[in-house]
Amino acid sequence: MAKPLPQRALRLPQRPAARVVADANHLANLTPHLSPRDRWITRLLYEHRVLTTHQLVHAAWTNRRTANERLLQLYRWRVIDRFQPLSPLGEGMPPAHYVCDVAGAAILAAEDGIDLAATGYRHDRALGVAYWPQLAHRVAVNGFFTHLIAHARQPNPPGTLTAWWSEARTRAAFGDIVRPDAYGRWTSRGSDLEWFLELDWATEPYARLAAKIDKYGRLASATGITTPVLFWFPTIGRETRARRALADAVAGLDQPHTVPVATTAATLAPPDDQLDPALARWLPLGASRPGRLTLDQLPRAWPRLPAPAPVSDRPDAISAGSGLRPPAPMPPAKYRG
C-alpha cells in the first residue's frame, strides 16, 4: 500500500451503486461462482475487518486491473462491501477500503457449519469500521502483513508467511496479559521467526510503551515461550526516544533475554514501502553489530532465542468470539505466483 494515511484522512462518503438483494436464492446461485481466491479474501476481510485495494492486490492478484474487475463483481454480489475515504485537499484519492458483506459472511458461516446469527455478524457493524478512531491504525497493521504475502508470492520468494493472527484473535489468546496488534510468523530457509507486532501511531506516552515490556516478560514466564516483539514507529525521532525507554524496561526484567525487542521507523523506507517489514530496517535492542537487519536476519541478533514451537502449540484462539475458522495466512496455491 501507499504511505499510511493519518486518521483524519479517513471518512465515509456514500457511494450508491446497483447491487443485488442477498436473499436465499441469491446465495444458492452465487456459491458455485466463487473461486477459492474469492472465498479466501472474503475470509481475510471477515478476520481482519478492513483491507484496501492495494492490500488485496498484494495478497491475491498480480494485476491491478484484474483485481478491480473481480472486486467490483464481488461488491455487486454483496460478497464484499466498500467505502471510499476522503483525504485532505491535495493528497490525491485514497484507495477503496473493503469489508465483508452479508452474502460473504453467510457463505463463510455455511462453509463452517455455523448459523450466521451465531457469528454475531452485522452489516452495519462491518461497515462501521469507516468511523473507527482506530481505522488508520488497523489499515496500517494489515498492510504490514500484506507486504509479506506479496513477497512470498514472488518467484523464488525469500520466505513465506505461516501465521497472521488478527488483533481480536491475538487478544483472545493473550489478552489477559498482553494486547498486541497482531501475531505473525515468517518461515525462511527452513527457519521460523515469530513475533508480536506493536504498531505505534505516536499516541502513547513513552512510559506506557515501556510498561508493555513488563507484560511481555510476564507472558514469557507464564508460557515458557520466548517471542520477539517488533515495534514499528512513524518517525526515526520517535523510534530513538522510544528505544531508550524500552531498553531501560528490558534491563529491569529478571530475565531480559525472554523479551527480544527490535524496532523500526516508517521514514526509513520510501512512501510505498513504509509498512514493508522484509526490508533491512530492524534494529534490535542491545545489538552487538552496527546496521539494521532484514526480518529473516533478526534471529541472529538473539543467540538465546529458541526455535519457535509449532503454531498449533499456541493457546487455542480459533473461535475469537466468532466461531469462524481463520483464513490461511497465504492464498490458495494456484494464486501464489
Q: Of 99, 133, 167, which residue is a domain's last?
A: 133
> Which pLDDT value is given to residue 311?
74
Q: In Å, how far from its chain's centre is CA 103?
A: 23
> Which pLDDT value is given to residue 50?
98
Give a yes or no: residue 206 inside a domain.
yes
> Which pLDDT value is given to residue 13?
44
Burial of 232 (0-12, 13-18, 19+ CB in 10 A): buried
Task: Examine the domain organization and report whether 165 and 129 are in the same domain.
Answer: no
Q: Of 133, 167, 200, which residue is a domain's last?
A: 133
Give a yes or no: residue 328 inside a domain.
no
CB 331 within 8 A of CB 59: yes
Task: Examine the domain organization and report whether 119 and 172 are in the same domain.
Answer: no
Task: Examine the domain organization and report whether 211 and 250 are in the same domain.
Answer: yes
78 φψ region: left (φ > 0), alpha (ψ -120 to 50), beta (else): left
DSSP notation for 229-248? EEEEESSHHHHHHHHHHHHH
Give a yes or no: residue 151 inside a domain.
no
Tens-digit pLDDT profile for residues 58-90: 999 999 999 999 999 999 999 999 998 877 656
Taking the CA atoms of 138, 104, 66 and 68 in sequence, report the sign of the dihedral they define: negative
Task: Examine the domain organization and report whether 261 and 173 are in the same domain.
Answer: yes
> Which pLDDT value is given to residue 190?
80
Strands 261-265 and 283-284: antiparallel
Torsion, Cα 114 120 126 132, to 10 degrees, reads: -140
> Which pLDDT value is given to residue 142?
98
Give a yes or no: residue 64 inside a domain.
yes
Task: Examine the domain organization and report whether 172 and 106 are in the same domain.
Answer: no
Q: Of 78, 99, 133, which residue is a domain's last?
A: 133
Give a yes or no: residue 1 inside a domain.
no
Low-confidence ranges of the chain (pLDDT < 70): 1-18, 88-91, 313-322
> Which pLDDT value is given to residue 10?
53
Q: ∠ CA 231-134-172 to the nearest 5 degrees?
A: 70
Give a yes or no: residue 106 inside a domain.
yes
Task: Examine the domain organization and report whether 124 and 163 are in the same domain.
Answer: no
Tens-digit pLDDT profile for residues 19-39: 777 788 899 999 999 999 999
Domain count, the chain: 2
Question: Cα(297)–Cα(278) distance, rounded to whole angstroms?
Answer: 10
Query: The CATH number of the domain where 29 resides is what?
Result: 1.10.10.10
Query: Which strand (E) or helix (H) includes residue 196?
Result: strand 191-199
Give a yes or no: residue 330 inside a domain.
no
Give a yes or no: residue 147 inside a domain.
no
> Which pLDDT value is given to residue 295?
96
> Which pLDDT value is given to residue 12?
46
CB 87 within 8 A of CB 93: yes
Residue with cell 501475531: 183
Domain that holds residue 307: 158-312
Task: Examine the domain organization and report whether 164 and 241 are in the same domain.
Answer: yes
Task: Examine the domain organization and report whether 171 and 116 are in the same domain.
Answer: no
Task: Examine the domain organization and report whether 111 and 182 are in the same domain.
Answer: no
Task: Examine the domain organization and report whether 105 and 179 are in the same domain.
Answer: no
Task: Examine the domain organization and report whether 208 and 296 are in the same domain.
Answer: yes
Task: Examine the domain organization and report whether 213 and 282 are in the same domain.
Answer: yes
